[in-house]
Amino acid sequence: MDAEEHKAAIRRVAEAFGAGDIDAVFAEATDDFEFTLAGNPPGGGTARGKQAMVDAIKALFGSKLEGGAIAMTVENLIAEGDFVVEQARGRARTVDGNDYDNVYCRVWRFRDGKIAALTEYMDTELARRRLWT
């Protein structure tokens, strides 16, 4: 894959997040996918394995967010080699009526045409107040 194909994959992932289609999000990932959330998230910062991530996100989004989705707006994509850096904004509403509008900087790593790893930087304090309670 080249840089434009990598960026197209990230755009598809963002659209799938907005539709609440977590299976489509991770259709682009390797089975040994690794996710690192910077900051101080509950349970530690790194999770391994695609299916574990699918299950965790479905449970979290399904129980905390209206429609089980975060509408993502990709603001910038920078690609070089096997990496894409994405700047994005997310908009969602929690099931208890609060806005969950976060900002993201994500570093995606590709391997053999699939997403192998993601490091995400976001407002973890907002997530703690709205999602991780």
Domain 3-130's class? alpha beta
User: Do 68 and 58 meet the contact criterion of CB atoms below 8 Å apart?
Assistant: yes
pLDDT digits (tens, 9 = 90+) for 26-79: 999 999 999 998 887 775 678 889 998 888 888 888 899 999 999 999 999 999
Q: Is pLDDT above 90 for 89? A: yes
> Region 87-103: what's the mean pLDDT?
97
**Nearest CA among 72, 74, 32 for reference residue 53:** 32
**In the prediction, which pLDDT does 44 show?**
62
Per-domain boundaries in the chain: 3-130
The mean pLDDT value of the chain amounts to 92
